[in-house]
Copies of this chain bind each other. A is one copy, B any other.
Amino acid sequence: MQDEYIKHNKMENYNVKDINLADQGLMNLEVAERNMQALVKMREDLKERKPFEGLKIGMALHVTKETGVLVRTLQAGGAEVAIASCNPLSTQDDIAAALAKEGVSVHGYKGENNEDYYKYLENVINIKPHITIDDGCDLVTLIHTKYPELMENIIGGCEETTTGVIRLRAMEKDNALKYPIVAVNDNMTKHLMDNYYGTGQSTLDGIIRSSNILFSGKTVVVAGYGDCGKGVSMRARGMGANVIVTEVASFPALQAKMDGFRVMPMNEAAKEGDIFITVTGDRDVITPEHVKLMKSGAILANSGHFDVEIDVKGIEELSKSKRRVRHYFDEYVIENNLNGSEKVIYIAGEGRLVNLASAEGHPSEVMSLSFMGQVSACLYLVENKGQLENKVYQLPDEYDDKIAQAQLEVMNVTIDELTPTQIEYLASWKEGT
C-alpha cells in the first residue's frame, strides 16, 4: 500500500473537480488570510521553529478557504499534510484546486458520492499520519475499524466539532479509543465563538442564499439550544424573526424561555413554523410526521454535522414529487392532510449542513480562532508525546487565553491589567464587608 500511495502521490496527488479553479481559490485564500491575521502570525512563528518537522498530518475537514489557511500553517511548521473533505457537500472546489496546485494531497469535490467520500478518507489514511485532524470523527473511526495497524504510529488526534466529541466520548466510555484526542471543540475560543457567532450567521446565510426568504415577520423554529442553537436563535431574532425553540433537555429549554423565545415540543412547533433549523447532533429531529403538520411553503434546513437530523428520505417517501427549484433548494410536493389539497415543503442543502452546502461556511474570523486551537492541539500532542492516555483531552485554559489575546491584538483591542493590589485582593479571603 505504501508503494502505491507514493506512486499516486508522485503522479497526481489530488482529486479535485477542476484544477483550473486554482486562481480563484488563491484569491479567496488571500482574502481569508486578511481575516485570519492571528493565525497568520502564528504561522510566522511556526515557520521559524518548525515544530512539526518530519510529521505527517492527515485531515478530514471541510475543504474551505479557512481550512486552506490551516493547511498552509501546519505546512509552515514543517508538517506534510493530506486532506479529504469531511462532508459530501462542503468542499469549495476552487480552494481544493488551489491547494492541489500548492502541492497538497487534497481529495474532495462538492457533491461527491459516498464511495468517493470514503475513498478519499483512505487516501488520507494512506499517508500514515502521525496526527489526525477530524471534523466529525470519521477519520478516527475508519482508522480504528479498518486500519488499526496504523495506530502505533499515531501521536494523537484533534477533533473539531461537538458531534465528533460526542462520538469520541462514547468511544472512550466503551474503552474503544486507542489514541489520545484533543477535543478542540471544547476550547472556549472554539465552541463559544465558532459554534455561536459562526453558525449563527452562516446558517442564516445558507438559508437566504438558497431561498432568498425574508426573515423579518417569519416564525423560525430552532431545534436544539446548545451553542449553535443559541447562535442561530439570536441571529434569526436579529433579522426580525419570531423564534420558537425545541429542546430535549430542561436547562437549555429554560435558558431559551428566559431569553424570550417560545419553547414547545416539535409537534406543536411544526404547525407554526415558516423556517425550521436543526442543530441538535441527534437524528430524527424532523420526521415525516412533523412535516404532515407543517404549513405549505415551510423551509427545512440543518446545521448539525450529519444529515440525519431531518429525515430527508422519509420526507421523500411521503412526497408525490421532488424537484430542484434553486441551487441546492429542493421542493417536495406533499398531500396536505389538513384540507386535502397539496402543499409544498422545501429542503435546503439536501439536509446537510446548510451553511456549507448553500453558502461558504463559517466566516474566516471565527475559523481563525478554531484553527489556532487546532494548531495549539497539534503542538500539545507533540509536546506531550507518549505521556497521554487514550482519552479525550481538553486543552488547558492558558491556551484559550493566548488565543483570545492574539485575536484581541489583531483587532486592536486593549484591555485593563490587574494591579498588584487587585491581584492580592482576589487571592485573599479575609477581607469581608
Q: Is A79 an interface residue (CB 8 A)?
A: no
B426 pairs with A282, CB closer than 8 A: yes
Which residue in chain B gives the minimum CB-CB distance to A34?
Answer: B297
Choose, from A45-53, A95-103, A137-145, A374-382, the stretch at the interface. Answer: A137-145
B174 pairs with A429, CB closer than 8 A: yes
Q: Is A213 an interface residue (CB 8 A)?
A: yes
A residues 231-255 touching B (CB-CB < 8 Å):
235, 237-242, 246-251, 253-255
Q: What number of A residues sit within 8 Å (CB to CB) of B? A: 114
Query: Given A239-B235, A242-B262: A138 and B257 within 8 A (CB)?
Result: no
B282 pairs with A425, CB closer than 8 A: yes
Which residues of the other chain, B, contact A255 by a CB distance below 8 angstroms? 192
Q: Is A2 an interface residue (CB 8 A)?
A: no
B260 pairs with A241, CB closer than 8 A: yes
Query: Given A213-B35, A215-B201, A217-B197: A429 and B258 within 8 A (CB)?
Result: no
Which residues of the other chain, B, contact A214 by a CB distance below 8 angstroms? 35, 197-198, 201, 362-366
Q: Is A27 an interface residue (CB 8 A)?
A: yes
Which residues of the other chain, B, contact A240 by a CB distance below 8 angstroms? 197, 200-201, 235, 238, 258-260
Partner of A238, one of B235, B247, B365: B235
Which residues of the other chain, B, contact A282 by a CB distance below 8 angstroms? 418, 422, 425-426
B257 pairs with A408, CB closer than 8 A: yes
Greatest chain B CB density within 10 A among A189, A257, A331 is at A257
Which residues of the other chain, B, contact A359 by a CB distance below 8 angstroms? 212
A248 pairs with B416, CB closer than 8 A: yes
Q: Is A166 an interface residue (CB 8 A)?
A: yes
A residues 39-93 touching B (CB-CB < 8 Å):
86-88
Per-residue CB contact flags for chain A residues 153-189 toward chain B (1 = under 8 Å, else 0) read: 0000000000000111011001010000000000011
Q: Is A261 an interface residue (CB 8 A)?
A: yes
Distance in angstroms between the alpha carbons of A404 and B250 in the assembled complex: 5
Which residue in chain B gives the minimum CB-CB distance to A296?
Answer: B34
Partner of A421, one of B176, B242, B283, B433: B283
Per-residue CB contact flags for chain A residues 191-223 toward chain B (1 = under 8 Å, else 0) read: 011000110110001001101111111000000
Distance in angstroms between the alpha carbons of A214 and B197 in the assembled complex: 8
Per-residue CB contact flags for chain A residues 100-112 toward chain B (1 = under 8 Å, else 0) read: 0000000000000
Choose, from A9-17, A263-271, A312-320, A383-391, the stretch at the interface. Answer: A263-271
A249 pairs with B217, CB closer than 8 A: no
Which residues of the other chain, B, contact A86 by a CB distance below 8 angstroms? 433
How many Å from the CB of A195 to the closest CB on chain B? 12
A residues 291-341 touching B (CB-CB < 8 Å):
296-297, 306, 308, 323, 325-326, 331
How many Å from the CB of A302 to the closest CB on chain B? 13
How many Å from the CB of A418 to the closest CB on chain B? 5
A246 pairs with B416, CB closer than 8 A: yes
Which residue in chain B gives the minimum CB-CB distance to A198?
Answer: B214
Query: Given A117-B433, A189-B251: A413 and B257 within 8 A (CB)?
Result: yes
Partner of A265, one of B250, B411, B416: B416
A242 pairs with B260, CB closer than 8 A: yes
Q: Is A347 an interface residue (CB 8 A)?
A: no
B217 pairs with A429, CB closer than 8 A: no
Which residues of the other chain, B, contact A198 by a CB distance below 8 angstroms? 214
Distance in angstroms between the alpha carbons of A421 and B197 in the assembled complex: 31
Q: 7 smallest A-B Cβ distances: which pairs? A: A238-B238, A214-B363, A250-B404, A167-B429, A170-B429, A197-B216, A217-B258
Given contacts A28-B325, A213-B365, 4 further A-B contacts (CB under 8 A): A114-B433, A170-B426, A248-B417, A253-B415
25 contacts between A and B (CB under 8 A): A35-B214, A137-B429, A138-B432, A141-B430, A176-B429, A189-B251, A197-B258, A201-B208, A201-B214, A214-B362, A214-B365, A217-B258, A217-B411, A237-B238, A240-B258, A242-B261, A246-B416, A248-B415, A254-B404, A254-B407, A263-B415, A265-B416, A282-B418, A282-B425, A283-B422
